[in-house]
Structure 1
């Protein structure tokens, strides 16, 4: 089992770096209090702000929507009601850097009820009108085992066992020796293309690939991911990012809220008890309308009401499309190649719809079969994936009627919440004809389509074939020593900048990259016993497919 989410492109141990007793180093006293604009109050922005504050800088956070970004939780009306996690809702245990902050903030987690896991009482898979009930994989028919074995064989062909062992032991030389050739050979390959030509599936009927697309591995079906780069998928399975998921009790937003008020025990320059909240007097600044280099050489940030302030550095954590679509950003702040990389970021659409129910009725036993009345459900119907989330017997519970991606998410976009629920219940009634789900629903539904949110324009990044070079430019940008002066001082962070877009771990680790970049810009250094990501960059850098710096 992989013990950490060590990304093969840049296998730096961020979890050890952030936990090291020496800390992240220092910035000189004459740089204490220098202001850094943090654009976006999601996980990346809050981690960057928190760590820069600890170093003695003055982070100023801007937020256009809600604290937490895509770690957004909504609460149903009523007393002691459950929450609906509209964005991030499951976090792999291998994401140790993320869990460092979760533990520091004191949030409570518990296993997430993914299909066929111990946290899920039962799972139903319904394909082409045929329904299969299972508590474990052993309960499923032989064809599902054939598909599982085919996937395992396909992963063996890219040396998954060797890679997982190297990641577990943090053997960076072996990780790079295994991974870099895969990047060169598979950058142009889609997930589906790899699957169809893989030794596990190429001699099997199309139906096996169809089942895999509907049921997949870990969290469920993956066919909406088929057009994306196979490298994206390999990173997930190599690092166990798709297994041993936990959810945050009380909703994912609990973590960013607690990070906002977290008072670190050791902080330079600021008095003991300083937090991001205490530096902001009421909340983050308004959303950003403009970023430009001023005649004095610093960077001016203008909010949506026209308020201006000048900064010695800026950390941008919003999705990259917003720098051209929503924010008037000086073109000269980034090279043309960087703008190309940002514009070619590929974002996944995602839609979720939740309802509150009076109690976790799905745990009722069917009087005829003894089976659960309803199960975590994977289907080829419109709903695709249905999750059952409860906080104990007798309490109101949250039912995620549908969680869909890409084309499946787009099918819901034009429908209002009540029409979505009506169609979802219609689909689920075909699978559970004897269960009156509607009779248990209380209050108004909660739904989201991330692609229609003007502050996001999509759920998370996921590279297409041939996009590795663009992702490498985005990730490498924090190392700015060779950049012209006009392009220095603005740093990109967020999960879409990482090689693991869609995972909170990537948001956290790229935030730490940006912190290292600001620290160096301000004349600071890492501690000699705890070198930072930029200090060891040359040794671990993502492979250059063209022999160029960008």
Structure 2
């Protein structure tokens, strides 16, 4: 693991959280403040706000708007949860395949606000070379290496780890930047991060590696292994073409370390937001939930959004039913506004349309099976090792994860977790063929283990790029995309927009600066809450300003043309 520069290891040090760096605003403090997040006037109580998409961003927005007295109307074509999709192998049983988000860094402090509020249990995720994994097998170029820690691997892996840490320290001032994030020193974060934006917006992750003094002293083999195996959650090569800014955000905010899973499935979080009856609620009687406001079910998916009049937008669902709203929050992935939803072009500026259409989504595929028991815990008498480990490989499977639910419960294996071109290799195949291909690859690594004999029930798979409601797993910003990110992220500030473009708010992790991480969805959803509250004439408490109140002071830097 790459934790040598983690400034939060001291018990007295504040933790590193996803506090910026582009917009260092304390969302976790805002939503937990005793004064509340804000209020609208009584004349706005009960007014409807459309929420398009029931993923994490949509459910957070709907939940918080309900609490201040508005009436969210949620539209969803599939199921509550979005890319927090926990598919049970057996209905009613706790064993699930986490088809979307499955590992959540504890630095996601706003997300964990809701996890903890609902009393959901978590446990460490079995990432490579972690105690939760127990053991890891690194299989490269036909050679399998067994390890429990980095120190168990050959020296070349320690050289890679040292080069990565040293490059981050020298080029990005890693320790000082993490210290500023942990202390929530917004001016210092902005001073350091703004310079990194200037230096690295136009440069890729691979550029960072190949031109750094640290990796320049090493061989291509070092960079190749770093791409295949990496540190933290695994290999990095699928991100090599991404903007280096995106990688810096991940490592500076500890997204790639100290991750947990949600026991029973991550989909519980948005579903609890749907069913929860908050005690502190305005206008609505105690006992009101989003579910009760919808008679138990969201409305159908959306096929059109258009301007109805100067003050209203019209949303048309897939059955042709049209309703008018003063405010609409769109949380679906950006491409859907040009593919699945007929969104009136004049509702957004052409610069914003450019940003939305240039958004680049990464492919992702997973294949899961359930096993009769966690058989991988069996010990091989010849070696004294468990017969199977968390596995990183250059073979078709790339990453294989083992989930032990206890000796008296079935086990779950993510046979294959792949990205980009590796995911496209799986795209044409049905689930049975995907299992066959994965088992064939694993048989080469564990020839003495009969994995197939332990599989029970139905296999489960996903390719997010094949789902017309998603078209990909999440955004992966390319070099030069900082301007696009800024346009999308700041859209919730609408005072300077022409009147015909106000009232439609964008949210979701692809609008955020932290794509792929649920914290980005939560934070952008909260931005839209502030935007809608402001749109209805509401305001935040003096002692608890919201994101829109301080955006001009600590928002993303303007890099110009």
Per the normalisation by structure 1, the TM-score is 0.98
Partner of 2:519: 505
Matched, 1:128 2:128: no
Structure 2 CA distance for aligned equivalents of residues 55 and 337 of structure 1: 33
Partner of 2:50: 37
Which has the higher mean CA deviation after the structures are superposed, 70-79 or 434-443?
A: 70-79
Task: Please give the secondary structure, in 1, of the residue aligned with 2:65.
Answer: helix
- From 482, 486, 493, the equivalent of 1:468 is 482
Task: Please give the secondary structure, in 1, of the residue aligned with 2:540.
Answer: coil
Matched, 1:279 2:293: yes
Query: Offset at 1:172?
Result: 0.6
Matched, 1:300 2:322: no
Structure 1 CA distance for aligned equivalents of residues 273 and 196 of structure 2: 38
Query: Offset at 1:259?
Result: 1.1
- From 494, 501, 526, the equivalent of 2:540 is 526
Partner of 1:53: 66
**8 Å contact kept, 1:366–1:373:** yes
Partner of 2:425: 411
Matched, 1:17 2:45: no
Partner of 1:111: 124
Query: Offset at 1:149?
Result: 0.4
Query: Offset at 1:79?
Result: 7.2
Structure 2 CA distance for aligned equivalents of residues 520 and 78 of structure 1: 43
**8 Å contact kept, 1:39–1:317:** yes
**8 Å contact kept, 1:81–1:397:** no
- CA deviations 1:480-526 (Å, max 9, x no partner) are 01000000000001111110001010100111100000001100000
Structure 1 CA distance for aligned equivalents of residues 434 and 416 of structure 2: 9
- CA deviations 1:342-377 (Å, max 9, x no partner) are 001111100000001100011111110001100000
- From 69, 81, 93, the equivalent of 2:106 is 93
Query: Offset at 1:296?
Result: 5.1
- CA deviations 1:305-334 (Å, max 9, x no partner) are 001111010000000000011000010100
**8 Å contact kept, 2:94–2:264:** no
Structure 2 CA distance for aligned equivalents of residues 132 and 311 of structure 1: 59
Structure 1 CA distance for aligned equivalents of residues 113 and 202 of structure 2: 35
Query: Offset at 1:108?
Result: 1.2
Query: Offset at 1:106?
Result: 2.0
Task: Please give the secondary structure, in 1, of the residue aligned with 2:534.
Answer: helix
**8 Å contact kept, 1:81–1:396:** no
Task: Please give the secondary structure, in 1, of the residue aligned with 2:337.
Answer: helix
Partner of 2:192: 178
Q: Where in structure 1 are there 5+ consecutive unaligned residues?
A: none
Q: How does 1:460-499 map to 2 (within 5 A)?
A: 460-499=474-513
Partner of 2:3: none
**8 Å contact kept, 2:372–2:455:** yes
Structure 2 CA distance for aligned equivalents of residues 312 and 207 of structure 1: 57
Matched, 1:262 2:276: yes
Partner of 1:151: 164
Structure 1 CA distance for aligned equivalents of residues 383 and 94 of structure 2: 31
Structure 2 CA distance for aligned equivalents of residues 200 and 259 of structure 1: 46
Matched, 1:335 2:312: no
Structure 2 CA distance for aligned equivalents of residues 414 and 345 of structure 1: 24
Q: How does 1:207-218 map to 2 (within 5 A)?
A: 207-218=221-232
Query: Offset at 1:34?
Result: 1.2
- CA deviations 1:140-196 (Å, max 9, x no partner) are 111100000010111112100000000000001110111001111111111111111
Query: Offset at 1:30?
Result: 0.6
Query: Offset at 1:10?
Result: 0.4
Query: Offset at 1:3?
Result: 2.6
**8 Å contact kept, 1:260–1:275:** yes
Partner of 1:238: 252
Matched, 1:200 2:224: no
Task: Please give the secondary structure, in 2, of the residue aligned with 1:301.
Answer: strand
Structure 2 CA distance for aligned equivalents of residues 533 and 120 of structure 1: 38
Task: Please give the secondary structure, in 2, of the residue aligned with 1:534.
Answer: helix
Query: Offset at 1:393?
Result: 1.1
Q: Where in structure 2 are there 5+ consecutive unaligned residues?
A: 1-7, 9-14
- CA deviations 1:282-301 (Å, max 9, x no partner) are 21000000000013530010
**8 Å contact kept, 1:153–1:199:** no
Per the normalisation by structure 2, the TM-score is 0.96
**8 Å contact kept, 2:137–2:389:** yes
Structure 1 CA distance for aligned equivalents of residues 285 and 115 of structure 2: 24
Partner of 2:11: none
Task: Please give the secondary structure, in 2, of the residue aligned with 1:517.
Answer: helix
**8 Å contact kept, 2:310–2:499:** no
- From 154, 157, 165, the equivalent of 1:141 is 154
How many residues are aligned here?
547
Structure 2 CA distance for aligned equivalents of residues 206 and 277 of structure 1: 55
Q: Which runs of 4+ in 1 moved over 2 A?
A: 77-81
Structure 2 CA distance for aligned equivalents of residues 52 and 411 of structure 1: 43
Matched, 1:426 2:458: no
**8 Å contact kept, 2:310–2:500:** no
Partner of 2:367: 353
**8 Å contact kept, 2:397–2:415:** yes
Structure 1 CA distance for aligned equivalents of residues 271 and 326 of structure 2: 26
**8 Å contact kept, 1:353–1:402:** yes
Task: Please give the secondary structure, in 1, of the residue aligned with 2:216.
Answer: coil
Structure 2 CA distance for aligned equivalents of residues 275 and 403 of structure 1: 36
Partner of 1:27: 40
Partner of 1:517: 531
Query: Offset at 1:81?
Result: 5.8
Structure 2 CA distance for aligned equivalents of residues 31 and 78 of structure 1: 42
Q: How does 1:343-382 map to 2 (within 5 A)?
A: 343-382=357-396
Partner of 1:322: 336
Query: Offset at 1:44?
Result: 0.3
